[in-house]
A = this chain, B = another copy of it.
C-alpha cells in the first residue's frame, strides 16, 4: 500500500539505482576525488548554465544549515518564513551549525515571504542587541506546495542584496518546482538573485544526499572544510554523487517530478468534488493541503492511510512522490468520498 505522508516514503528511482550500481566498479579515490563526483558537478554546472561550486552532503538538514552557516556569523540572523522548515522542523539545526545565528520568522500568505514583511525585519532595528539580518531564505516549492514566480524571487533578492543579505533557497522540492514552472533552473535561481541553492536529491528519488550549489562562488570559500568538520564529508563520495548522474540523464529528474505533480493535481481535482472538503492552498507542486472533517481523518487512519495533519489547522497534508500510482490516488479519494458521506 502506498502512503501520502511524505515523499520520503518512496524508494530509489530506477535511474538513480542503475547509476549507483554502475559506480560500484573497482577502486575510486575517497572524499570526492573520484570521477563520478567530478562528472555530476559538471552536469549540474551545465544544468544551471553557469560555473557554480557544487558540494554533496548527506541530508537536507545539513545542506540548509551548513549553507546558512556559511552566510552569516553566530551573532547575525537569518530571515525566513514563519512556517519555513528550517525554523519549524529542524530541531534547532541551523542554530547548532551556526553556533547561535537566530532565525527571524516573517509572515506571508501561501507560505511565501513578502517584500514588506522582510523589509520590516531588516529595517526594524540597528542596535547591538539585535542580531543583524545577514541571510534571507525562501523555500521553493514552499512547505505548503506553492511556488515563487521568478519576479517574486528577484524582488526579494534585490531587497536582500541592497541591505547586505545573502539569498538562500531551500530546494528540498526543487525538482517539483522546476517541473511545475516549466522554466530553466537558472531563471528562478541565480538569474533571479539566488546566491546559494540546496538542491534536494532524496525526495526526488535518490537513496541519500543533497547538493549545495553556490552561484556566488565567493561564499563557498572553505566550504569543504566546513562540511568535513560538521560530519558531512562522505568517504565513499561516489555513492552520493553517482546517483545524480542517472537522475540528470535525459531529464529523468523532471519526468519523475512532473509525475508527482500530476498525481497531486489528480488528487486535488478529485477532492474538489467532495462536499465539506476545501483545498487550503493552490496546488502548484506535489503537495495537497485540504481541510478534512475529523471523522474523515479518523476513518482514513483506521483504513491504514498514513498522512500528516497540517499544524495549526484542521487540515491534512497529502504528499505525492515520484512513484505514486494513479490507483493509489483513486483509492485514497474513494475512501475519502465514502467517509465524507
Contact = CB atoms under 8 A, between A and B. Distances in A.
A327 to B, nearest CB: 13
Interface stretch (A58-66, A137-145, A259-267): A58-66
A128 B227 CA distance: 10
B229 A100 contact: yes
A6 B25 contact: no
Interface stretch (A218-226, A269-277, A279-287, A290-298): A218-226
A233 B102 CA distance: 19
Query: Is chain A's interface secondary structure helix, strand, loop, or mixed overall?
Result: loop
Size range of the chain A interface in the assembly: 35 or more
Contacts of A9: 27-30
Interface in A115-143: 124-125, 128-132
A95 to B, nearest CB: 4
A163 to B, nearest CB: 15
Contact of A59 (B23, B65, B132, B231): B231
Given A225-B128, A229-B75, A12 B29 contact: no
**Residue in A75, A76, A96, A132 whose Cβ sees the most chain B Cβ within 10 Å:** A96
A219 to B, nearest CB: 13
A3 interface: yes
Contacts of A108: none
Q: How many copies does the complex hold?
A: 4
Interface in A1-28: 1-3, 5-6, 8-12, 17, 20-21, 23-28
B75 A225 contact: yes
A6 B30 contact: yes
Contacts of A75: 91-92, 96, 222, 225-226, 228-229
Interface of A: 1-3, 5-6, 8-12, 17, 20-21, 23-31, 57-62, 65-66, 73-77, 88-93, 95-97, 99-102, 124-125, 128-132, 202-203, 207-208, 222, 224-226, 228-236, 239-240, 306, 311, 323
